[in-house]
Structure 1
Amino acid sequence: MTKDPIKKAKNGTYYFRANLGYAGNGKKIQKYQSGFKTKKEAREEYYKLLLMKPDEFEASENKMLFKQYVEELFLPWYRSKVKMRTYENRLHSVLKHFPYFYKLAVCDIEPIHVQKWQLKLSTNLKPSYVRSIQGLFSLAMDRAVILGIALTNPSKIIGNVKKQKQEVDFWTKEEFEKVISLIYKEDFYQHFLFMSLWLLFMTGMRIGEATAVQWDDLDFETGVLSIDKSLYYKNQNDYRFTEPKTKASVRHIVLDKTTLVLLKEWRNVQQKVVKTGFIMSYNGIPTQKYTIAHAIERYAKKAGVHRIRIHALRHSHASLLISMGENPLIIKERLGHEDIETTLGTYGHLYPNSNFQVADKLNGVIDFEPAKQNFDTSPRNQFTVDYLRRTEKKKCNESAMAK
């Protein structure tokens, strides 16, 4: 009785080892595959391999599987091209969604595979997230084409999902006031949270910029805060300064007097408890973003306002400036945007009454007196000549009827 080649592993999956004959050089060809969810799936793959000719199998062996390509070639290359924080944030997406193609050879991935994957992702994920994942996949396939592992990029043939205009989430001035009024500054830790939320709301800094800011970056006499670095934070023992997001991110923010007073107060309290150069710190090391996120969640619930993400505090600052009538160019410089298009593209819709305000300002701005006689004797076009004739004829008829 022949033994069943399909075996069950301890983790509940199935595997097999297939003897596929001998290659041209006399070497025995064996193939081991594992990780099948069902015995039927493993058996189908087993018999599929048995039907292959040795030379066909040798040719297939020369193809690199997408899994191997991602792990050995793409990720190491991608890691060298982006900031560590970017790499680590996107690594999770790669490991979660790229396995859809892992059993395929890179050169065998076709547009139909990408289409089905895209539809599967779009079932329960936001379009913006699907776009970012497929953008990473497309980058991986572009690199495969450059390396000669694939002939074309099937992702580009299919195209990405349609980009949707996202609504900018933020706290209004009134909502922020409700939240900040609930934080008890007499408690050291809550004082730290108060200052962190206040600084983010009143400056519009990115969280990486804010956690990197040190007391030496602030000139209390002029009120100028210098932004020239960001912070990479992995854990309490692994954090370091990195370059800002863009060249435009290097900037100077002038702080208002109230914020300066609050910062002086916080510095005096902080330095009595812990010696640190970081403004946003209660324990001597930089603050991790989860600490701020949890604080936002807790105090938003207590204040009865909607929860926002940390980055929405940056949007809140921009919204505040817009409501105060600030020029978009000032907002661009304060936020550190590369160009005005980014500022207007993100926050342009927050100017809902600007057209009406412009109309009010234009009303009566031009001072003139209507002409009392015709100063233009230049030739008239056919339409105006015909119009004048009809007008004169109408006047004559009305005059005749009146008699």
Structure 2
Amino acid sequence: MSSVKKRPNGKWRARYRDDAGKEHARHFERKIDAQKWLDQVTASVVTGQYVDPTAGRVTFTDYFEQWAARQVWVDGTEKAMRLAARSATFADLELRKIRPTHVEQWVKVMKDGDPRRENSRKLAPGTIHTRVNNVRAVLRAAVRDKMIASDPSEDVTLPRRRKAEAAMQLPTTKQVGALLAAADDTFGVFVALCAFAGLRLGEAAAVRVGDVDFLRKRLTISRQVQRATKGQVEIRAPKYGSERTVFLAPELVTALSAHVGRLDGAGPDRWLFNGENGNPPHQNTVGYWWRKTLRDAGQTGIRLHDLRHHFASGLIAAGCDVVTVQRALGHASATTTLNTYSHLWPSAEDRTRQAAAGLMAGALKAADQVRTAVGE
């Protein structure tokens, strides 16, 4: 129910009742403006975009807590979401008062540091993108809940991230060989799992002896080590979509077999690598081993995760397609694989040159055979 009526003071009152029966009204100097406002409200109701003007009075933080309580998250996701929500400079504002300028200001603070805080840390573009996306999920939920009409983070400009080909460090075969030579027998196997099976640090640390099928040359990835608070070790499922079977090179199977033979008691439930108190190693322990190996190998600027890129580049160079690489690395989708490694696949120009080179080589070989036959 809606109407436009002239008031005794000469102004025009437009009013309507929402689905809950609550009346809303505004006053205008001109009838045409009152009718225009009422038409806009009616259109929003018809299209399902109507938002109660009194909604959105809850702060971002309070709404986040209500929304978070309904989400099905693993611990890592929850920690990341809460970190992003706490960092938002508009966290104490009511949802209805948050504007794109508030989001832009937050992005600026993350990029340049907070001038109000001494030694405020500047965040990398990738970290900023992640935090904004996490907060955006909250704001979009508020839109779906009809708390606000639109997402104020929409179209906010974020810092540019480096292109994958510029940011990625690909260790050479010589560098990987130097690392293997410098590592002790145990950590050498850890390095090999990352470089020749593409395991992440946490995945390699969480391998049990029973995960290795020596006869079929396969390795099952079904868990990862996640460092918890106070240096404790937490074992959880791998990243979403990362459960997989990795097909191992015979040489890697041989190295794993020799390593298991050196273990004291090698039942199927035994960790392949030892940490503290009967646990597998966590990030700090592996980091120490890695830094020592880098130093002994005379290498700098290489991260352990770069060995995973080394593995991916080898698969691509060998002619593996996107889906094969995706499954080997445990990416959730082929899109992730392409976003990360598309620059490593041969371009159309590369394939054209290679095909032309093959044609020309065949023709030149035939010409040589003809010349030889004529000479005889």
Listed as ranges, the gaps of 5+ residues in structure 1 are 1-58, 186-190, 368-403
Distance 2:302 2:78 in 1: 25
Change (3 A) 1:286 1:118: same
Mean alpha-carbon deviation: is it higher for 348-357 or for 219-228?
348-357
Give TM-score scaled by structure 1 length: 0.63
Please state if 1:267 is matched with 2:260.
Answer: yes
Structure-1 separation of matches of 2:91 and 2:159: 22
Return the letter of the residue paired with 2:168. V
AA aligned to 1:120 is V
CA RMSD of aligned residues (A): 3.4
Q: Does 1:83 align with 2:67?
A: no
Contact 1:200 1:313 in 2 (8 A): yes
Matched, 1:240 2:241: no
* Counterparts of 2:314 and 2:154, CA distance in 1: 40
Q: Does 1:200 align with 2:197?
A: no
**Closer, same or farther in 2 for the Cα pair 1:255/1:158, shift >3 Å?**
closer
Q: Deviations over 1:217-269 (max 9, x none)?
A: 211112111234445552676623326521xx343222122212221222122
Q: In structure 2, do the counterparts of structure 1 residues 336 and 82 end up closer, same or farther at CA, with 3 Å as the change threshold?
A: same
Tell whether 2:357 aligns with 1:360: yes
Task: Go from structure 1 to structure 2 and tell me whether the alpha carbon gap of 1:103 and 1:128 turns closer, same or farther (over 3 Å shift).
Answer: same
How far, CA to CA, are the matches of 2:156 and 2:84 in structure 1?
20
1:282, CA displacement in angstroms? 4.4
Query: What is the aligned counterpart of 2:301 among 303, 307, 314?
Result: 307
**Per-residue CA distance 1:187-233 (angstroms, 9 max, x = gap):** xxxx2x22212211110023343333322121111211123444555
User: Which residue in the other structure is 1:154 paired with?
Assistant: 152
1:223 matched to 2:197? The reply is no
Check 1:165–1:300 CA distance in 2 against 1; reply closer, same or farther (3 A cut): same
- Taking the aligned partners of 2:336 and 2:290, their CA distance within structure 1 comes to 26
Counterparts in 2 of 1:295 and 1:357: CA distance versus 1, 3 Å: farther
The normalised TM-score by structure 2 is: 0.67
Equivalent residue of 1:101, what SS? coil
State the partner residue of 1:128: 126
The reply on whether 1:144 has 2:142 as its aligned counterpart is: yes
- Say whether the 8 Å CA contact 1:173–1:320 is kept in structure 2: no
Match of 2:28 in 1: none
Q: Which residue of 2 aligns with 1:182?
A: 182
Matches of residues 315-326 of structure 1 in structure 2 within 5 Å?
315-326=309-320
User: Matches of 1:364 and 1:177 in 2, distance apart?
Assistant: 34
CA distance in 2, matches of 1:221, 1:341: 33
Q: Structure 2 unaligned runs (5+)?
A: 1-52, 113-121, 365-376
1:153 aligns to what SS in structure 2? Answer: coil
Q: Is the contact between residue 172 and residue 319 of structure 1 (CA under 8 Å) also seen in structure 2?
A: no
Deviation at 1:303, TM superposition (A): 2.2
Q: For residues 60 and 139 of structure 2, what CA distance do their matches in structure 1 show?
A: 10
SS at match of 2:245: strand
Q: Identity of aligned pairs, percent?
A: 22
Q: Secondary structure at the match of 2:263?
A: helix
Separation in 2 of the partners of 1:207 and 1:332?
A: 18
Task: Tell me the number of residue pairs that the alignment of Structure 1 and Structure 2 aligns.
Answer: 296
Q: Is the 8 A contact 1:276 1:285 kept in 2?
A: no
Whole-Å separation in 2 of the counterparts to 1:276 and 1:229: 13
Larger Rg belongs to:
1
Q: Which residue of 1 aligns with 2:91?
A: 102
Report the Cα distance in structure 2 between the residues aligned to 1:176 and 1:358, rounded to whole angstroms. 32
